[in-house]
Structure 1
Amino acid sequence: MSVLSRYVMRAVIGYTLLVLLVLLVLNGLYMLITEQDDIGTGNYGATSALLFVGLNLPQTAFDMLPIAALIGSLLSLGNLARSMELVVIRAAGVSVARIGAWVFGAGVLLMALTWVLGEYVAPPMEQYAREMKTFQKFQDYSMAGNRAAWAKDGNTILSVQRQSAANNFGGVYVFQFDAQHRLRSVGRAGSASIDAQNSWELTDYRQSKIEADRIVPEQHASASLKTNVSAEFLGLAAIKPDAMPVQALFSYVSHLKRNGLDARSAETAMWARIARTIAVAIIVVLAVPFAFGPMRSTGTGARTVVGIMVGVVFLLLAKLMDSSGAIFDLPPIVVGWTPTFLLAVITAIAVSRVR
């Protein structure tokens, strides 16, 4: 590795980490403000809120790294262009493709950082943050489980296999006991929703009542259940595919397919997580055409705005594909990879046009 390559890569990585730090500070302040409504509930105080925000910052860093990488590469290469350092490098016989390879090398290192955050740091810290906050706010419930949430409320035990939205759950089991702790009924709902009063609306509910000498099966299109267990508490251990590491998602998808269950949302989240990580190495190269093109003499503010706009468009496209995949029944691999593929094509075309 030459001195010039290390110099360019160090500039890109340094500016990216600086931009990421600024984004984390701003996002942390916003998260702390949103936590004000919960401070004072149970044992959840200001110190707990600060800890909750800090534990969520690695996940924020994982989500923000593509935008930070683009802005950081725009700023670093833009400053090199304004100070004529890129001109000197080109005059020394270094091609644009070679400079792009150096920037891509910096992107690979940032991609490795993204992978470490997304696989080993962010998921357990975010999970611990949710547990810490929930148990400090709600002290009257018990909960167990890893791949499913198990919650006990009086003589009722609830089990939730997955969480599809903030107040919507799937694969809900209801176990009801009498005062002597004897099982009286077992029910399963295909899906359930919870309102603000913790009243459950169970859809496609099938129940088996256990009587003295027989079991009575029942089936209802919908049923209601009143419980003190909130959506926030029950969603604590339910599956949220977009917050799971790739290894756990792969195992979860395999489990769903083996049991004949719908694995599209989890599989889409798996491919999207992989593609988003790889996109970090690609998106930094997109700054190369700007460094040699019309933005080489523009100010820092203009390049920052462009970086934010491109990053926001990329994230919006990813969200749009997630929604379109569910509506139009697109293959999960297509939904997950389309934004990154389009980004790679645009980057390749833009770099190839630089002279």
Structure 2
Amino acid sequence: MSWTLNVYFLRRFVANFLATIAVLFALVYLIDMIEVSRRGRFSDAGFSTIAAISALRVPAFIEQAFPFAVLFAAIFTLLSLNRKLELVVARAAGVSVWQILFPFILGSILLGLAATFLYNPLAAFAQARSAGIQTELTGGDTTSGDTRAPFLRQFGEGVDSIIGAKAVSDGGLRLGGVTAYVMAADGTVSQRIDAPSARLDEGVWRIESPIVTRPGFTPDRLPFYDLPTSLRPEYVEQRLADPQAIPIWDLGSKIEVARSLGYNAEAFAMHYNTLIAKPALFVAMTLLAATVAVRFNRTGQSSRTIAGGIAAGFVLYVVTFLAQALGSNSVVPPVVAAWFPVLAAGLFGVTILLHQEDG
């Protein structure tokens, strides 16, 4: 097949992918902006601030939808080429299904590489920036319904305490939405500390503008509170940070540092391997789309074709999600959890296409 035809197919595929992403971005942005504006804690924020928060949050959501965008783009492109009889003419000229799919597979690989190494760092930066803005506005209360925060036990200078946060930044050096409990010698809580933020200095959390509550006393607001700690920033980030908020360029080093200190870094390793496997996932989605859309369909069959492709992609997405959960919790190695569903789906697509091609 000539390169002119390859470039034509590739251009159509990429254009449909970008159009799908644009529609998803607009839809998710509108829904998220409405949701953010409805939250009571943002009532004092202006429209421009709410719009900025949503705009920074959306890229991370869209990143999760990339595989479906590839699936839809491949299905729509192949159906469009079939309706115009372009694929029929190509097949009649002796072009095999693999030659037809070559530009689609190439486009999937290029889009996967761009999504992993270019888009992901931007989305992670935007997500972290959005969390930072929300922390400044709400004291770290960035959740919509669940107000629970992860807690870490710490001991420093004879003080036993528990600290939790709803946001973490600066490599584990800064917390937002801080809640801490200082324990007495008998194991009871002697103080509760609530603050919008805290920063980790040498062996101490410098908690800013805290409200300190003691049993039987009126809560006191202090300018700052120094809480001794033995925690290291690498451990704090590993336990409290969202792996999706860390760009791929930093994940490798953070995994290595965490493991060298004896910390469990499986969640970060799972996210890293998932990002590395993304080009292969895009190829698998393209092959699944081809199994239902590369053959000529008569009028009225397109709806069943689209439904079949969506169902296949949804099954792959669910299996991938379950595998990620298993990998993050050390049930299976992250490499296996990231690659096995992708390779299995790819082999399934190749098998179906071979059967369709050779009968």
Corresponding residue SS for 1:330: coil
Q: RMSD between aligned alpha carbons? A: 3.6
Shift of 1:60: 2.4
Kindly report which structure 2 residues correspond to 1:278-317, keeping only aligned pairs within 5 A, or say none.
278-293=280-295, 297-298=299-300, 301-317=303-319
Structure 2 residue 231 is matched with structure 1 residue 229: no
Q: Does the aligned pair in 2 maintain the 1:108–1:280 contact within 8 Å?
A: yes
Q: Could you tell me which residue of structure 1 aligns to residue 80 of structure 2?
A: 79
Structure 2 residue 323 is matched with structure 1 residue 321: yes
Total equivalences in the alignment: 304
Q: Could you tell me which residue of structure 2 aligns to residue 253 of structure 1?
A: 255
Measured in 2, the distance between the counterparts of 1:186 and 1:298 equals 72
Measured in 1, the distance between the counterparts of 2:112 and 2:290 equals 18
Q: Could you tell me which residue of structure 2 aligns to residue 266 of structure 1?
A: 268
Shift in CA distance, 224/337, structure 1 to aligned 2, threshold 3 Å: farther
Corresponding residue SS for 2:150: strand
Corresponding residue SS for 2:194: coil
Shift of 1:336: 2.0
Shift in CA distance, 41/290, structure 1 to aligned 2, threshold 3 Å: closer
Q: Does the aligned pair in 1 maintain the 2:288–2:309 contact within 8 Å?
A: no
Measured in 2, the distance between the counterparts of 1:192 and 1:256 equals 20
Which deviates more, 290-299 or 62-71?
290-299
Q: Could you tell me which residue of structure 1 aligns to residue 34 of structure 2?
A: 33
Q: Does the aligned pair in 1 maintain the 2:151–2:164 contact within 8 Å?
A: yes
Measured in 1, the distance between the counterparts of 2:25 and 2:48 equals 19
Q: Could you tell me which residue of structure 1 aligns to residue 342 of structure 2?
A: 340
Unaligned segments of structure 1, at least 5 residues: 142-164, 176-183, 210-217
Measured in 2, the distance between the counterparts of 1:91 and 1:168 equals 62
Corresponding residue SS for 1:256: helix
Measured in 2, the distance between the counterparts of 1:251 and 1:268 equals 14
Per-residue CA deviation, residues 101-125 of structure 1 (Å, 9 max, x unaligned), is 1210111222133124443311111
Paired AA for residue 331 in structure 1? P
Q: Does the aligned pair in 2 maintain the 1:9–1:103 contact within 8 Å?
A: yes
Measured in 1, the distance between the counterparts of 2:155 and 2:192 equals 12
Corresponding residue SS for 1:226: strand
Measured in 2, the distance between the counterparts of 1:318 and 1:15 equals 24
Q: Does the aligned pair in 1 maintain the 2:293–2:305 contact within 8 Å?
A: no
Q: Does the aligned pair in 2 maintain the 1:289–1:351 contact within 8 Å?
A: yes
Which deviates more, 250-259 or 41-50?
41-50
Shift of 1:328: 7.0
Shift in CA distance, 331/250, structure 1 to aligned 2, threshold 3 Å: same
Measured in 2, the distance between the counterparts of 1:292 and 1:299 equals 13
Measured in 1, the distance between the counterparts of 2:190 and 2:347 equals 51
Corresponding residue SS for 2:94: coil
Measured in 2, the distance between the counterparts of 1:33 and 1:174 equals 43
Measured in 2, the distance between the counterparts of 1:65 and 1:25 equals 15
Shift of 1:298: 4.6
Q: Could you tell me which residue of structure 2 aligns to residue 127 of structure 1?
A: 128
Shift of 1:297: 4.7
Corresponding residue SS for 1:284: helix
Shift of 1:303: 4.3
Shift of 1:338: 2.3
Q: Could you tell me which residue of structure 1 aligns to residue 244 of structure 2?
A: 242
Shift of 1:275: 1.8
Q: Does the aligned pair in 1 maintain the 2:17–2:69 contact within 8 Å?
A: yes
Q: Does the aligned pair in 2 maintain the 1:78–1:296 contact within 8 Å?
A: no
Shift in CA distance, 21/225, structure 1 to aligned 2, threshold 3 Å: farther
Corresponding residue SS for 1:65: helix
Measured in 1, the distance between the counterparts of 2:92 and 2:319 equals 39
Identity, % of aligned positions: 20
Q: Could you tell me which residue of structure 2 aligns to residue 167 of structure 1?
A: 148
Shift of 1:51: 0.9
Measured in 2, the distance between the counterparts of 1:128 and 1:245 equals 13
Structure 2 residue 6 is matched with structure 1 residue 5: yes
Shift of 1:311: 3.1
Per-residue CA deviation, residues 324-347 of structure 1 (Å, 9 max, x unaligned), is 346672112112222212221212
Which deviates more, 291-300 or 54-63?
291-300
Measured in 2, the distance between the counterparts of 1:71 and 1:46 equals 33
Shift in CA distance, 19/318, structure 1 to aligned 2, threshold 3 Å: same
Q: Does the aligned pair in 2 maintain the 1:96–1:354 contact within 8 Å?
A: no
Per-residue CA deviation, residues 174-209 of structure 1 (Å, 9 max, x unaligned), is 77xxxxxxxx754465x8699xxx89687xx9x8x9
Shift of 1:271: 1.2
Q: Tell me: higher relative CO, structure 1 or 2? Use CA pairs within 8 A at least 6 residues apart.
A: 1
